[in-house]
Structure 1
Amino acid sequence: MTKNIVTGVDGNFGRIVADTIQSLIPKEDLLFTAPTSNKLEKFSEAGIATATADFNDVSGLASTFENADTVLLISMPFVGERRRQAHKNGVDACVKANVKKIIYTSLVNATDPMMPSIEKIDHAWTESYIETTDLDYIFLRNSQYAEAMITNYFAIAHSGVLANNQADGKMAYISREDCAIAAAHAISNPYLHHAILNINGPEQLTISDLINIGNKITENSVKYQEVSDDEQYAIFDKMGVPRTTEGEFKKGSSAPFSSEGMVTFGQSIRNGQMKIQSADFQRIVGRKPHTVKYMFEHADQYQIGERHSVDD
């Protein structure tokens, strides 16, 4: 009998991992956590062990993680020192609890010191901190979620213009769903040790390419307009998007992220620093990731949705 822990099953990503992994690992070998017990009820009713997890409480986490074979640490939905501290607490708890392996959801090209993405700082820090421990690990360096751009496409379709700062930079867009499926397979794979996997989509696309695919599927006539970084900030400001994750997020927003994160993502894509592409997804899952075309054809299933995770 083994103990495989999926944290954050209350969130968009963790929910998909939780649903997928039940077909890969026996229920008696699973433990799901969330910040509040009400988000765990359906899993408890299905016969899966559950526990509340407070990432401000290392001792409490260690008790939950005790002697686990694997722990999936899904990166927190906030950015900066608070996220790094929460990740540190999770890693420290794994060490204290004699966990064998930690699996961390990171970012494509996270350790490139020249990449301007504000998000990558926390990911690079967390990877480095894990490497200072004796934990076995898998880092899943995910490309940008296609759902974010597909949701944006439909949000602006009436205007006919999608404006952003990515220019002709390319990204191997992948669905959040496929990233979560890859995480479930990584947990269930006993042969991956001290591994860094690039979880990317099957094709490198500019934002214009993505828009053209959307137009062909929907018969819209959306055009791309390149804007500067300052203009991109102004667009998000007008939408009521907070500059940082410490701000207030509007319910139902088509951009449930901080503008600082999105603008610096755009810079990184424009600079060609996020176009990494590999076959790692296919190697661990056994199929190719879904294309952007497929996601537009099933657009109702590939929207970014609300921010669900507890942020403190």
Structure 2
Amino acid sequence: MGKLLLTGVDGNLGRQAAEDLLKIVDMDQVVLCGYNPEALKDFEEKGIETYVTNFNQIDGLKEAFSGADKLALISMPFVGQKRQQAHKNVVDAAKDAGVKQIIYTSLVNAADPSNPSVEKIDHIYTEDYIKKIGLDYIFLRNSQYAEAMITNYFTYVKGDGVLKNSQGDGKMAYISRKDCAKAVAHALATTDYHEAVLNINGPELMTMTDFIEIGNKVTGHHVTYKEITDEENYQIFDAMGVPRTTDGTFKDGSEAPFSSEGMVTFAQAIRLGKMDTFTDDFYTLTGQKPLTVAYMFRHANDFQVGERHSMDD
């Protein structure tokens, strides 16, 4: 078997996936890529093969990918044509380098044209392009990161105690980003899946009211939930200094390190029942049960959304 190549190691998900991968395969099987050479240093010093890669440019990618049988593409942290082109560059270079299978971190219900999430447009583009070019694949369609909403919960603990968004009573099987990383590692290491679509979901479907009740029970706080309109949701993020799109300026240390367009259309999709996918694919892939929201609240310091890591210029 050829080498297993993991991209995005300078990001939160990619770095965790790298650490998980190195627990289940020999390090001489592993190749790690990222934008930021500083993020690769620790791995390089351990003798692991690393490459600094910029997916906005195709130059040098084929050389970095050569010798890899499987490549995990962690989706880029920006939205729109720029992300689609970056993903296309990776897929084209992988094909030219002789990579046999791509693992791609996608989004639940990405193929549904009625799903209003702006994020899913790039995800289904990438899935379709991988199929079109003729590569084997494992698409990991992730539910929403629980970390994003745990961080959001504590933002309102520090505020007026009323968590506000526009997802209403829609349901989501919140999944830890740590589990999403584990799924990437196991998808790279396995030989059992071909042309597979796996839904990486948390252990239970819940509404935002359910989520908050678990947080209150674990922490002793008394946060409540209030449904607001999509436009009111945008206004809250505007007041926090959150950019509407990923082309905007992100504040250092923001508790919402995403664009509001992504978050509000995600909330809309949840409200409309477009994100309530629920399977045991994570367990089938990893042999482990996903972490519960209650567990994450009990260890909340380890399950915050963290900083945005992007060098996408």
3-state SS of paired residue (1:205): coil
Deviating above 3 A after TM superposition, structure 1's stretches of 4 or more consecutive aligned residues are none
- Alignment match, 1:218: 219
TM-score (norm 1): 0.98
Letter in 2 for 1:228: T
- Alignment match, 1:55: 55
- Alignment match, 2:89: 89
Letter in 2 for 1:265: F
Instruction: Give the alignment's Cα RMSD to 1 decimal.
Output: 0.9
Residue correspondence of structure 1 range 50-129 to structure 2 within 5 A = 50-129=50-129
Shift of the alpha carbon at 1:160? Answer: 1.0
Shift of the alpha carbon at 1:103? Answer: 0.5
- Alignment match, 1:42: 42
Letter in 2 for 1:186: A
Tell me, yes or no, if the aligned pair for 1:67 and 1:100 is still in contact at 8 Å. no
Shift of the alpha carbon at 1:275? Answer: 0.5
Measured in 2, the distance between the counterparts of 1:285 and 1:310 equals: 31
Shift of the alpha carbon at 1:66? Answer: 1.3
Residue 295 (str. 1) matches residue 296 (str. 2): yes
> Which shows bigger deviation, 189-198 or 30-39?
30-39
Shift of the alpha carbon at 1:197? Answer: 0.2
Tell me, yes or no, if the aligned pair for 1:69 and 1:99 is still in contact at 8 Å. yes
- Alignment match, 2:206: 205
Measured in 2, the distance between the counterparts of 1:266 and 1:70 equals: 34
3-state SS of paired residue (1:69): strand
TM-score (norm 2): 0.98
Shift of the alpha carbon at 1:20? Answer: 0.4
Measured in 2, the distance between the counterparts of 1:117 and 1:45 equals: 40
Letter in 1 for 2:293: V
- Alignment match, 2:265: 264
Shift of the alpha carbon at 1:265? Answer: 0.3
- Alignment match, 1:242: 243
Residue correspondence of structure 1 range 126-275 to structure 2 within 5 A = 126-158=126-158, 159-275=160-276
- Alignment match, 1:11: 11
Measured in 2, the distance between the counterparts of 1:311 and 1:12 equals: 15
Letter in 2 for 1:63: E
Superimposed CA distance per residue, residues 161-194 of structure 1 (whole angstroms, 9 cap, x where no aligned partner): 0000010000000011100101100000011111
Measured in 1, the distance between the counterparts of 2:114 and 2:42 equals: 44
Structure 1 segments unaligned to the other structure (5+ residues): none
Shift of the alpha carbon at 1:37? Answer: 2.1
Measured in 2, the distance between the counterparts of 1:14 and 1:129 equals: 22
Measured in 2, the distance between the counterparts of 1:89 and 1:267 equals: 31
Measured in 2, the distance between the counterparts of 1:268 and 1:163 equals: 16
3-state SS of paired residue (1:138): strand
Residue 32 (str. 1) matches residue 32 (str. 2): yes
Tell me, yes or no, if the aligned pair for 1:8 and 1:309 is still in contact at 8 Å. no
Measured in 2, the distance between the counterparts of 1:56 and 1:274 equals: 30
Measured in 2, the distance between the counterparts of 1:272 and 1:57 equals: 37
Measured in 1, the distance between the counterparts of 2:262 and 2:253 equals: 19
3-state SS of paired residue (2:116): coil
Letter in 1 for 2:3: K
- Alignment match, 2:279: 278
Measured in 2, the distance between the counterparts of 1:62 and 1:297 equals: 44
Shift of the alpha carbon at 1:47? Answer: 1.5
> How many equivalent pairs are there?
312
Shift of the alpha carbon at 1:67? Answer: 3.5
Tell me, yes or no, if the aligned pair for 2:56 and 2:312 is still in contact at 8 Å. no
Tell me, yes or no, if the aligned pair for 1:7 and 1:73 is still in contact at 8 Å. yes
Residue 309 (str. 1) matches residue 304 (str. 2): no
Letter in 2 for 1:211: I
Structure 2 segments unaligned to the other structure (5+ residues): none
Measured in 2, the distance between the counterparts of 1:138 and 1:39 equals: 26
3-state SS of paired residue (1:58): coil
Measured in 1, the distance between the counterparts of 2:144 and 2:99 equals: 29
